[in-house]
Every structure is written in structure tokens, then in C-alpha cells.
Structure 1
Amino acid sequence: MLEVDNFTQNIIEKFPVFIYKTAFFWRWLLLCVLLFYSITQIEAKTDNSKPAQQAESSRFLELWKQARERKLAQHPYWLKLLHFYSFGESVGQWSFKSDVVSAGFFLSANGKTDPEAELKATLKALLSPSVNNPDQDARCKFIARFNWLRSKLDFPEMPKRNCPLFERWANLEDSTGISIIFVSAYLKNPASTFGHLLVKFNSRNRLLGHSLLRPTLNYGAIINPDDNPLVYALRGLFGGYSGSFTDERFYNFNHVYGENELRDMWEYPLNYSAVQQHRITYHAWELLQNVKFTYYFFLDNCAYRMAELLEMAWDDTSRINTSGAIWAIPVDVVFKLQKFRSATNGQSILGSPQLIPSRQRKLRQRVAQLSEMEQTQLKALINSVNHLDSGELRSVPEPSRARILDALLDYLQYVKKENQTLLQQKERNKLLLARSFLPIMENNSSADKPKPPTEGTPPMRFRFGAVVNELLGPAFEVGSWANYHDLLGTESGHLANAEVVTLDLRIQVRENSFEVTHFQLFNIQKYALNPTRISGDFEWSWRARAGWERANFGCLTCRQFRIAGGYGGSVSLAGKDLEYAFVDIFGETPKDSWSATTLGFAPHLGMTWSPLESWKIKLEGGWFKSLVGPKKEYFRSRFDQRLSISQDWDVRLEIERLESLEAKLALHYFW
């Protein structure tokens, strides 16, 4: 018994060791099995992937062979998609390369300068779908490239790829077309002096169907808000800013331009085919992927880039932008679009425009429809909201009262402040409550409706005519300006009572001489009126100009640089006239002596009158007196007439006195 007990005791003592060693063995065995299985699977996958890689390589080589045979790397549309330009075709282009400065836009390291390398890299990326993020797949991110290449090459059958972000943004199934929106000039900001362009994607979708909710594309400079005006101007002129596309709902742009900056907008539907609309939409999506360009105020601006986008409709060499141009302005793009014809019906792709009036125009339209009695009541309400409860207003018939309150609501919206006081909010609520008990009145928005930009004169002008000078005799004059519109010109499609002229050059040719007599860098004038005659609807008139002119008309070579600007007031007494008074500050310096620089002031009186739409008269006189520098005191006057022959032609008679008299009869061609 004792031996058995010892044997049992020995087993009991060694049993845990046995269990531990056995478990250790099985753990190692299990680890070896798992390792063997993993290696086997990796080898199997490697062996299985070899045919897939070979098949993928075979597909790429076949597509690449087709692309080279069909010379797609040099195809105009491929170069459009990559924004490639040759030397001189675009500002800052000194070699054959893309305008895009964002590295992420290119799939090849050499894509910016080598369209063939970019084509090769694009084909490889299209055949290698991204599993993790479908929106970053090449077929989604570069959807315009994919769809065009698929139409040109014999792509193999590929699994369907959904692009959630693009599909939600483009909403192609409910698309009803594309519109271009011309935003009128805004003279308080140099970058908006010639207007602005937007592209709107229209839809019948129940969520995006309203015009204010539709996706709208904008292009602009990415500016530094801390830059002072001088730095801002220099960087804008010489490419110191990047430019990019952004998209927002249209109501954001309507708020900025129509409500805050008081700018009218004109929406033109574009009669593209469905295929052409899709091409534009595809490339717009590509440009929204944080793609940047170098921004130049005069050329690589909103007009140039929006026209470049709309050119994507055509897969040939068709261009809206002029190759080698030194400037691009928004209204010129609209005029050029007018010349393109639809392939289906032969009509212009530019549809009939619709006015989107500014808040100021809405107010003036409302007030213009009021009778004299109603305007009196409106002014009383503006002076005191307590007039709302007066017996005088309550005695007014309900339709008249409704029109008065509608005009008052428009006025309050026009003069609104960002942060209303509690009292102002209560007064507005009280006004809205009173209006809710009155009948709904139709607003005759056709009143004071301006003509669209495409019915005005084109922006550029060529001039030739005859000159008679009482001292120098006769001469022949030629000249041109870069843009845009002068005060004597027809106002159809332009800012009313305004002038924006740049690079106005005139040359007089005589038998023995050839002289530049006038080169104006800019002449910007804004004559503000108060047609409603109510407080809050008032602005000062202002103007500024600079350039080289003759010191007097008795000589040809006595050119001097003159800069002037001032403020004043203007009124219209009969509707088709404008009377104004200004006080200008001016500076003059002759070409050969800075020490002879003169600074002074110059009060002016003037008027314009348009007896007919095609006929306009302008009369202005000013007295100049120096305050600093050589003493000067002289009077300058001029009398001008314009007679329009057609939209593109007019005749002008100009008589001006500056120490001696000079008269000109000139023919103008606008293009």
C-alpha cells in the first residue's frame, strides 16, 4: 500500500508538468499550422493574381495602342480637358503646358507639360479602380476624361462604378439645362468694374427645382483680406493670386450681388444638347476638386475661365476665348456665345434672357407704380411707423394701402441693417401683420425694365473721322478703345448714367505729321439719381480718370499726363435728361518736367439729353485753377452729339475748346 501510495503521489506531482508541456507542444503545433496555411493562401493569391495582372496589363496595352494610333494625346479635346496652351495663347505661357497649377490635377509627374504622359497615366488609373473610396476613383474624380476616352477607345467591359458625391451634385437625371448669368458692373470694386459671370445648373428636382436653390458655379481670386488696396491691385494685375472654382446655391449669389451690392443680373439659358450639357457638367466636377489656376485681373479671370468651361461642350477646336488676347471681359463672352449655333436647329445657343432685378430696382419699380397720394403716405410711414395706426392711412382704400405697405417692405429690405434692434424687429412684425389683412396685389415688374446686355453695343470700339482745328488745320483721326461704354453711348445693356472706358487711344494724321493726341488709361464715371425721392435711396455721384492729353489744342506735341477725380450731385428733371455738378481735384505734369507739376481744383457743370433713343446730346464746361505748382487758370468746354445707326455703328460730332477750337466728325464701329 505504501508503494502504491508513493506511485500515486508521484503521478499526481508530475501531472501538472505533463499538462503544461503538452499544452506548450500543442500551441507550437497550432502556430505552425496557421503559419503554413497563411503562406499557402498568400502563394495561392499571388498565383491567382498573376493572370489578373497580366489581363490588366494586356487591357492597358491594347488601349494605349489605340490611343497612340488615334493620336489622342494631341486631340484638341484632350488638350482642352488638361487646359493646355501653346506659347502666347494664355497669359504667363512661355512654353507648351497646362494652365492648372495644382499638382493633384495630374496623374503623371510630368502631366503639366506632357499630355501624352498624362494620357498614359489616366488610362492606367481608369483600369485600376479604388476599392476604399469610390469618390476618389479615377472614373469619378476625372469623370470627364473617362467619358471622353470611353467614347474614343474600345474599353473592355468594366464593373459599374457609382460616384455618390458626383451623382448627388450633378443630378443628371433631373437636369433641365445650363444657364450663364451676367452680373452687371459694380464700380465700387475694381475687380467687378466690367461685371461678372456665373454658370447655373438647372433642375426639375423637387429639392433643387427652385431657381434660388440650383447649384451655381463661380470663379474668382483667392485673396488675402489683409492686403491693402495697392497690394491687392498689383497682385491682381500680375498674377499674385490663385484662382479657383467654387459652387453654392444661387440664393447665396443673389444675396451678395442683388441684395447687398444692388447689381442686376441677366440669366441666359444655353441651348446645348444633352451630350454637350453632360460634358460641361463632367468637367465642372473635375474643376471643383480643389483645382487652382494663376489669376490675372485682365485675362485669366471669371470671363476667361467660364468661357473655357463652356467650350467643353464641343469636342473639336471650337473656342469662345480668343487665342492670344490680352484681356477678357464678361459681356464679351455673352456676345460671342450669341454667334454659336445649335447643331439641331441652327439657332443661337444663347437663349432669351431673364432679368433678375436688384433690390434697388425692385424698390424703384414699386415706388414708380404708386400714385402721388400713395407716395406721400409711403414717405410718412418711412418717417414714423406710428403712421400705420393713423386715421389718415386707414382711410386709404385697401388696394392702395396694400401697394404702400409692399413698397415700404421693399424699402426696409433695401436699407436693412445686419443686426436689427428689438424695436426694429417689433415694428417690422407689426407691419407684416397689417399687410396680412390686405389683398394680394400684382406687381407690374415690367416697369423700368432695362434692355439686356446683348442689345447694347459690344465692348470694343474702332474710330475714324475728320478733324478741323482753327490753328492746325484739317486732319484725319483714327483710334480705338479696349472697352466698355461711355456716357454719350446708348445705354441699352449698360449701366445707366455711367461710363467705363479703358485704353482709349487716338492718333491724328496730317500731311507732315503723325501724332498720338490722346491716350486715356481709364475714365470711370457714375452719376447717381434718386428717382424715388425718398430718404435712403441716395448716393453721391463720382468720377475718376487718368491719361495723356494735349495741354491745349493749339499744339500737337505738348502732351501732358493728367489725373483727376471728384464728387458731385446729379438730377433728372424730365426723365430723359441728366444734369450734374462736380468739383474735381486734378493734377497735370508735362512729359519733360516733373518740376512743372500742377495740382488744383476744377468745378464742372454739365448735362445730357436724349430726345430719341438713337440720339443723345452732351454739354459740359469746367473751370480749372491751380493751387500748387505753376499758376494756371483756364476754361474747358465741349459739346457732343451721338446718332446711332445700328447696334454696332454710330456717328458722333464733337466740338471742344481748350484755348483753341477743335471739331471732329467720327464714325464708330463696335465689336
Structure 2
Amino acid sequence: MNRFRLLTAALCLSVFSASASAQATEPLPDALQQRLLQLSEARQWRHLLHVRDHVFTARTISQNDDDNFFLAEQGKSDFNAEIVAAYRAFLRTGMADNMSAQCHFPARYHWLKQQFPERHFIDQSCSELDEWLAELDAYSLTLIFPASHINSPSSMYGHTLVRMDRKDPRKSKLLSYSVNFAANADPTDNELVFSYKGLAGGYPGVVSVMPYYVKTNEYQHMEYRDVWEYELDFTPAEVRQFARHVWETQDTYFDYYFFDENCSYRLLALLDAASERADLADDFSIKAVPVDTIRSLQKRDLIKRAHYRPSAATSLEYKGQQSSPQVNLAARELVDTEQQIAQLIAGLTPRDQARALELAHAYARYLAIKKKQSSPQLRKRTLAILSARSKIKVSSEFDETPPPPVRDDQGHLTQRARFTAGQSGDDAFAQLSWRIAYHEVMDLPSGFVPGSQIQMGEVDLRYWSDSDELKLQNFRVVDVLSLSHQTFFQKPIAWSVSVGLERFNAPESELYSYLKVGFGRSYLTGLGRFYGLAEGQLLADNQFDEGYQLSFGPRAGWLIQDDQFQHQLELNWQPLATYDNPARRSLSWQLGYRLSDSMQLRAGFERQLMRSQGNNETELSFVWYF
């Protein structure tokens, strides 16, 4: 599809420029000019151009940042000039195959032709477009939501793409084509650079079309993410218009912003351009969390039904839960050791032998993907396991992996306000907090990955009653905690990273900046989730002897995430400190109670100790998700 830029450049330089002295300079009738002016202000025309009101600049311009996306020189901001240029270009006849504006902008041409049923537009030859549309054979649309993947910064909030399904239900969905929008990132950038550029718009975002099985392999197997499929209520005519619009955008680019102009937002904008009924992207001006974009579709009754596809890792764990300890141990030893297969499964019943071999195969795939390559020894062992399984004619009788009781889009809303009254030492305070996104381990857990926390853009404003002062108590730029627990087959690392500004718990405390990073382990038991991290902290401010303090120590906790009650007890001790010697210790406890799907009541206590001075803080909070 890279031909688009070359052909468009040739088109702009030869066809349109050549005609500028003729048709472009000929004045249009007044009535036609007025009609085009009205149409340039139509919502659907602006959707086709991806025009939005920019919140921070107060400008109304197209979000497409590629000059090749426009026919008029000022088409990015002058929508009347763009529609006039399009109207003139679409009237041209005698064009070479694939060289007309109709071929490069088929969605705009289709819409504009509908607005002038009395005018005879002559369709030009577009063989490449026709072949492409025939190959897609798109009849219906399905929104694909690979769930959040806490161990990948680029996938923390989840992701969305659109699959274009064929009319014949007998044809495999895996062979359908999918539409994806993603940052065209530099492969040499590390995760930290990727995160920064993704937040700052440092990458171009591009629309791409590829077979669905390619993405399925990537998300279900390569990244081990569960997938939800939402069948959309778009008519076949709207689906065809969607495909036309994808054609005219896929070789252009939009500046990519991780927080708002991301994959989910751009796909909503593509859907808006396909249907007069849709105005989905208008719901998102500051942030676009993928799960919220699904809610936007639901609000407009554009989702028919949802289907769940478990990841390979989820299926592996569920099969392990159905098996006895002896079967699980045999399955792991079948892969981790070189003992004879027949010897390892000799003491098992035929059904358990089948289970052990199928589990071993799933475990071998997991190891190959985790290491990003399969060793010759592992490949040889995997083939031997499959051969042994083929000789056992008994079914393993594994149940299908059930969907979660609550879908990701059925959890609490991602913005949060928190109203707190408390006592810190001898001073009373009231605090108002607002978080732009997304989830904390003490939030209502239904619909979210257990043990996961991703908070961005949280501000805590605290009013101290005794001093009659309002202060910024905390500003969390990003706060991530992954407490993925150890299982029999998987041994993930628990980790945390937090960046922002905060104060110690006392009214006279000064604000300091911080960076906190930790790594450790998490274990899930019948009593809850227990975790321990080795955490390093860098604090910077002139209140420290050298302007900053670097410390290191343990962070341990006990977490319960029940639908009705939430509980967290955490100890943080930083005994190893440099550039400012006093060690810091804190013990915190929080208890949450669910009032409704959008409300929670919390109580908390924290004791901080530094320089032999202790401070106790208690609080009661009302939490509202919106």
C-alpha cells in the first residue's frame, strides 16, 4: 500500500496542479458555493476529515497530520476549501486507472455523491481499490478488545482493533481482515523512551490492515492476553463506507498520543466517518481509555453481543486447576526434565496421562513464547509429547475455560473523585482528590486484573483546618503496581514504579519529587494476596541534606480484593539511605466497602516514622467513580 504516497504525490503535482488554471479558477455558481459551504459544516464531512475541537489550543482542525490526506492546500483547517477542491476533483473524467481523486478518497466521493443526487458524477476506473475491497469482502464489523497486559507499558490499558467479517458464516473469522491503529515506534527505543514518546506525541500513528489471525497470534499467544470480541450493529452499507475510509487513511499518519489520540480513539473516529448515526469520538477530549470506548458504543446501542476468547496462559492455568497435583507435576517434569515420557506418566490413569501430556504441551508453548524462541531441545521434546499424546485414545475431559464473571467494560468507571476527612497528628484536614485514570488495588476489583494497579494523573488537594491553608498533598504522574502471583506453571515478577510529587504526613511538610521502583514476588492464598518487593526510592528537594535522598528497603503487604470488601496492609521500610541518613518507615492500613458499582466507602490509618519522630494519620473517605 506504499504506492499511495507516490500516486497521491503524482496526482497532486500533475492532475490537480495541471487543472488549477482551468477548473480550479473557474468560479462556481453562487447557489452551488452556498450549498458546498453548508456541507463543509456538516458533521459527517468533518468526520471524514477527522476534524475535532482541540481542548488546549481552542482550534478546530483535522487531526490527520499528513499533507497527502488533503486536496486543498489549507484543507487541514479550511474545510470549505477542502470540499470545493474535492467537488472539483471528483467531477474530472477521462482519468487513468487508479489515478483519480475518486480512487484515492472513495469515502469522501461516496458521501459527496449522495449529497448531489441531481448531478451526474461519472465513476472513474479504480481497479486497485476494487480488488482490495473484493479481497476484504467486508459485511459486518467486530470490535476486538485484547485485555490489559500489566507487564507491558504499551498495553497497560488494553487495546482495540476492528475486524471486518465476511457475510458467509462458514468462512473462518481468523481469515478476515482487521484494522489496527498503532504508534509507528522506533524498534530500538526501550520501554522508558517508548512511554515518554507515547505520552508526548513523539511517534506517528498509522492505520494498518492485516489478517486477523496475525493479531490473534500476537495477543493471545505472544502476549498471553485474553480477548473480548464485540459484534457491532453497523449495516452492510456502513461497513462498505468504513472500508472505503480505511483505504483513504491507511497510508497517512496521525500524531499518536498514548493518553488520548490512541488506538481506541482513532478507531472510533474511523467508525464515525462510516456512519451518520455515530459520533463516538466526541465523548473523548482529554483521555480515551479503551474500555471507556467500548462503553461509548454500548451507550449508543451499537454492540449486539460479546464473545470471550481466553489466552493460552489463561487456558493453561484453568486446565491446571482441573488436574490433580500428580498430573501437574508430571506435566511440568515432562518439559523440564529429560526422563522417559512413558516413565513419567506410568503411574497415572489413561485420562490423567492424556491430561498430563496436553498440559505439558501447553506449558512447553508458554516457555517458548516467554523466551521468545524455542530451543532445539524444547522443540524435540514438544514433538515427543505430541507423539505420546496421539497414542492415547482417551479424552482428557478438560472443561472449556469459562469467561470472567464480569467483563472488563463492566467494571467501575475510570475517573475517580475522592472526598476525605481525617486527622494527622493534632491537625484535622479535609482533602479532595481527582484521578483521570484508571485503577488502584483498593478500588472496586470487578472487571479488572487482580493485583494490578495503574493510576495516572491523580491530584490530592488538602485543606488544613488549624492553619487555614490549602496545599497540594500529592500529584501522581504515574503509579503502577503489578502483583501477578506465582502459580505452578508461571513465575511472574511483581513490580512497581511510581513518579510524582508528595509530602510527608504533617501540615508543615514540604513538597518533594520522587521516583520509586521495586521488584519482588506475589503469592495468592486462601487468605488473600501476600507480596514482598525490594524497593528503591529517589526523593529530591532542598529539605534533604544534599538536595536528594536515595534509599533502599523492603515493601511488603497483604491484599484482599473481595467484591464487597477490600483490604490492604502494607509496611514500607527504607533503612539503607545515602545523602540524607535518616531511615524512613511507614505502616498503612486501608479498608474499603462497596456501596454501589460507582461508589465506595474507605477508612485508613498510616503511621510514618522518620528521625525518631512519628506521626499517625487516620481518614475516612467517600469514593465516586465517573
State the TM-score, normalizing by the size of structure 1. 0.81
- Residue of 140, 164, 183 corresponding to 1:221: 183
CA contact (8 A) 2:594 2:600 kept: yes
Over 3 Å counting, the alpha-carbon distance change for 1:441 and 1:131 in structure 2 is farther
SS in structure 1 at match of 2:44: helix
> CA shift at 1:72, angstroms?
0.6
5+ long unaligned stretches in structure 1: 1-55, 341-347
Indicate which of 71, 77, 90 corresponds to 2:44: 77
- Once the two structures are superposed, residues 457-479 of structure 1 have per-residue CA deviations (whole angstroms, 9 ceiling, x without a partner) of 11110111321333103x32211
Q: Aligned pair 1:350/2:314, yes or no?
A: no
Match of residue 409 from structure 2: 454
Matches within 5 A, 1:155-170: 155-158=118-121, 163-170=126-133
Report Cα offsets for 1:425-468 as digits up to 9, x if no partner: 44332222222232344542335736311121111101113213
**How far 1:364 moved relative to its partner?**
0.7
For residues 494-513 of structure 1, what are the alpha-carbon distances to aligned partners after superposition, in whole Å with 9 as ceiling and x for unaligned?
Answer: 22211111122112224422
CA distance in 1 between partners of 2:230 and 2:45 (Å)? 28
CA distance in 2, matches of 1:163, 1:492: 50
| Cα pair 1:548 1:560 within 8 Å, conserved | yes
Give the drift of 1:174. Answer: 5.6
Number of the residue aligned with 2:141: 178
Match of 2:276 in 1: 315
Could you tell me whether the CA contact under 8 Å between 2:546 and 2:580 is conserved in 1? no
Please report how far the alpha carbon of residue 131 of structure 1 lies from its aligned counterpart in structure 2 after TM superposition: 4.2
1:414 correspondence with 2:366: yes
For 1:413, the aligned partner's letter is R
| Pairwise CA distance, 1:485 | 0.7
User: Quick one: structure 1 residues 314 and 160, their matched pair in 2 at CA, closer, same or farther if it must change by over 3 Å?
Assistant: closer
Alignment equivalent of 1:153, drawn from 104, 116, 128? 116
Question: What does 1:544-555 correspond to in 2, within 5 Å?
Answer: 544-551=497-504, 553-555=505-507
Q: Does 1:65 align with 2:56?
A: no
Instruction: Assess, with a 3 A threshold, how the Cα gap between structure 1 residues 506 and 186 changes in structure 2: closer, same or farther.
Output: same
Q: Is the 8 A contact 1:335 1:458 kept in 2?
A: no
* CA deviation after TM superposition for structure 1 residue 64, in Å: 7.4
The answer to whether structure 1 residue 399 and structure 2 residue 351 are counterparts is: yes
Q: Does 1:331 align with 2:274?
A: no
Q: 1:422 to 1:377 in 2, by over 3 A?
A: closer
In 2, distance between residues paired with 1:421 and 1:231?
31
Partner SS state of residue 196, structure 1: coil
After TM superposition, the structure 1 = structure 2 runs for residues 77-476 of structure 1, keeping only pairs within 5 Å, are 77-86=44-53, 88-89=54-55, 95-129=59-93, 131-134=95-98, 136-158=99-121, 163-171=126-134, 175-205=138-168, 209-227=171-189, 231-288=193-250, 290-315=251-276, 318-322=279-283, 325-340=285-300, 348-384=301-337, 386-390=339-343, 393-394=345-346, 396-416=348-368, 420-437=374-391, 438-447=393-402, 449=404, 451-473=406-428, 475-476=429-430
**Following the alignment from structure 2 to structure 1, what is the Cα–Cα distance between the partners of residues 424 and 271?**
50
Aligned to 2:11: none
Contact 1:649/1:667 (8 A) holds in 2? yes
Deviation at 1:556, TM superposition (A): 4.4
Pick closer, same or farther for the CA change 1:131–1:396 going to 2, 3 Å. Answer: same
1:400 Cα deviation from its structure 2 partner: 2.1
Aligned counterparts, 1:510-549, within 5 A: 510-511=464-465, 512-531=468-487, 533-534=488-489, 537-549=490-502
CA deviations on 1:210-262 (whole Å, 9 max, x unpaired) are 12221111111222233455654443333332111011111111222221222
Instruction: From the superposition, tell whether residues 130 and 633 of structure 1 become closer, same or farther in structure 2 (CA, over 3 Å).
Output: farther
1:663 aligns to 2:608 (yes or no) = no
Judging changes above 3 Å, is the alpha-carbon distance between structure 1 residues 124 and 439 closer, same or farther for their aligned structure 2 residues?
farther
Q: Which moved more, 1:430-439 or 1:648-657?
A: 430-439
Tell me: CA distance 1:443–1:280, structure 2 relative to 1, closer, same or farther (3 Å): farther
Contact persistence 1:380–1:387 (CA under 8 A): no
Change (3 A) 1:445 1:176: farther
Distance 1:407 1:64 in 2: 73
Matched residue, 1:14: none
Q: Which moved more, 1:314-323 or 1:427-436?
A: 314-323
- Contact 1:83-1:98 at 8 Å conserved across structures: yes
Paired residues of 1:518 and 1:548 also in contact (CA < 8 A)? yes
Q: Which deviates the most, 140-149 or 307-316?
A: 307-316
Instruction: Check whether the contact 2:335–2:378 (CA below 8 A) recurs between aligned residues.
Output: no
Change (3 A) 1:262 1:557: same
Match of 1:488 in 2: 442
Partner Cα distance (1:466, 1:336) in 2: 34
Query: Kindly tell me: are residues 204 and 387 of structure 1, through their superposed partners in 2, closer, same or farther at Cα, counting changes over 3 Å?
Result: farther
Per-residue CA distance 1:363-388 (angstroms, 9 max, x = gap): 11121111233223223323335432
- Change in CA separation of 1:389 and 1:63 when aligned onto 2, cut-off 3 Å: farther
Please state how far the C-alpha of 1:595 moved relative to its aligned partner: 2.5
What is the CA–CA distance in structure 2 between the aligned matches of 1:257 and 1:64, rounded to whole Å?
53
CA distance in 2, matches of 1:449, 1:317: 29
Q: Is the 8 A contact 1:179 1:268 kept in 2?
A: yes
Amino acid at match of 2:32: K
Query: How big is the shift at 1:629?
Result: 1.4
Which amino acid is 1:148 matched to? W
Answer yes or no: is the 8 Å Cα contact 1:219–1:243 preserved in 2: yes
1:187 to partner: Cα distance: 3.5
- 3-state SS, counterpart of residue 554 of structure 1: coil
Q: Distance in 2 between matches of 1:321 and 1:308?
A: 9
For residues 494 and 102 of structure 1, do their structure 2 counterparts lie closer, same or farther at Cα, with a shift above 3 Å needed? same
Call closer, same or farther: CA 1:550–1:370 in 2, change over 3 Å. same
Residue 577 of structure 1 is aligned with which of 511, 522, 528? 528
Q: Pick which of 271-280 and 166-175 moved more.
A: 166-175
Q: Which residue of 2 aligns with 1:9?
A: none
- Give the Å deviation of 1:652: 1.1
Cα RMSD (Å): 2.9
Asked if the contact 2:542–2:548 (Cα under 8 Å) also holds between the matched residues in 1, the reply is: no
Structure 1 match to 2:433: 479
Counterpart of 1:497? 451
Q: Distance in 1 between matches of 2:151 and 2:34?
A: 51
Shift of 1:192: 2.5
CA distance in 2, matches of 1:386, 1:597: 56
Task: Give the whole-Å Cα distance in 2 for the aligned partners of 1:429 and 1:199.
Answer: 35
Partners of 2:580 and 2:181 in 1: how far apart? 49
- 1:175 Cα deviation from its structure 2 partner: 4.0
> Take 2:189 and 2:431, find their aligned partners in 1: how far apart are those partners?
43
Count of matched residue pairs = 593
Unaligned 5+ residue runs, structure 2?
Answer: 1-22, 609-613
Question: Is residue 624–residue 632 contact of structure 1 (8 Å, CA) maintained in 2?
Answer: no
Instruction: Return the letter of the residue paired with 2:279.
Output: S
Whether the 8 Å contact between 2:464 and 2:507 is mirrored in structure 1 is: no
Contact 1:603 1:622 in 2 (8 A): yes
Alpha carbons of structure 1 residues 647 and 657: separation in structure 2 relative to 1, 3 Å = same
Distance 2:440 2:94 in 1: 57
Provide, for residues 272-293 of structure 1, a one-character-per-residue CA deviation record: whole Å limited to 9, x for no partner. 23343333232122212x1111
- Displacement after TM superposition at 1:594 (Å): 7.3
Structure 2 counterpart of 1:312, which letter? A
Question: What's the secondary structure of 2:40's corresponding residue?
Answer: helix
Conserved 8 A contact 1:276-1:312 = no
Q: Which range moves more in the overlay, 175-184 or 478-487?
A: 175-184
Maintained 8 Å contact 2:601/2:621: yes
